[in-house]
Amino acid sequence: MQSDLLLRLWETTGVANFDGIGPIAMILVGGGLIYLGISRRFEPLLLIPIGFGAILSNIPVADIGGPEGILGYFYSVGVSTGIFPLLIFLGVGALTDFGALIADPKTLILGAAAQFGIFFTLLGSLAMSEVVPAIEFSLQDAAAIGIIGGADGPTAIFLASRLSPDLLGAIAVAAYSYMALVPIIQPPIMRALTTEQERAVAMDELRPVSSTERILFPFTVLLLVVLLLPSASPLIGMLMFGNLLREAGVVERLSQTAQHELINIVTILLGLTVGSRLAADAFLTAETIGILVIGLVAFAVGTATGVLMGKAMHRLSGGQVNPLIGAAGVSAVPMAARVVNKVGLESNPNNHLLMHAMGPNVAGVIGSAVAAGFLLSLLG
pLDDT digit string (tens) for 227-243?
999 999 999 999 999 99
Q: Given pLDDT bands bounded at 50, 70 and 90, which one contains residue 212?
A: very high
* Cβ contact 277:293 at 8 Å: no
Eight-state DSSP code of residue 149: G
pLDDT digit string (tens) for 6-39?
777 666 776 666 777 888 999 999 999 899 889 9
* Range from 78-82, 195-199, 213-217 carrying the lowest mean pLDDT: 78-82
pLDDT digit string (tens) for 317-361?
999 999 999 999 998 888 899 999 999 999 999 889 999 999 999
Q: Look up residue 352 and give its amino acid.
A: H
For residue 21, what pLDDT is reported?
A: 86
- pTM surpassing 0.85? yes
**No. of helices (H) and no. of strands (E), the chain:** 22, 0
Q: Look up residue 289 and give its amino acid.
A: I
Closest listed residue to residue 321, CA positions, set 361, 363, 351 = 351
Closest listed residue to residue 281, CA positions, set 169, 144, 125 = 169
Backbone angles phi, psi at 19, to 5 degrees: -90, 80
For residue 16, what pLDDT is reported?
A: 64
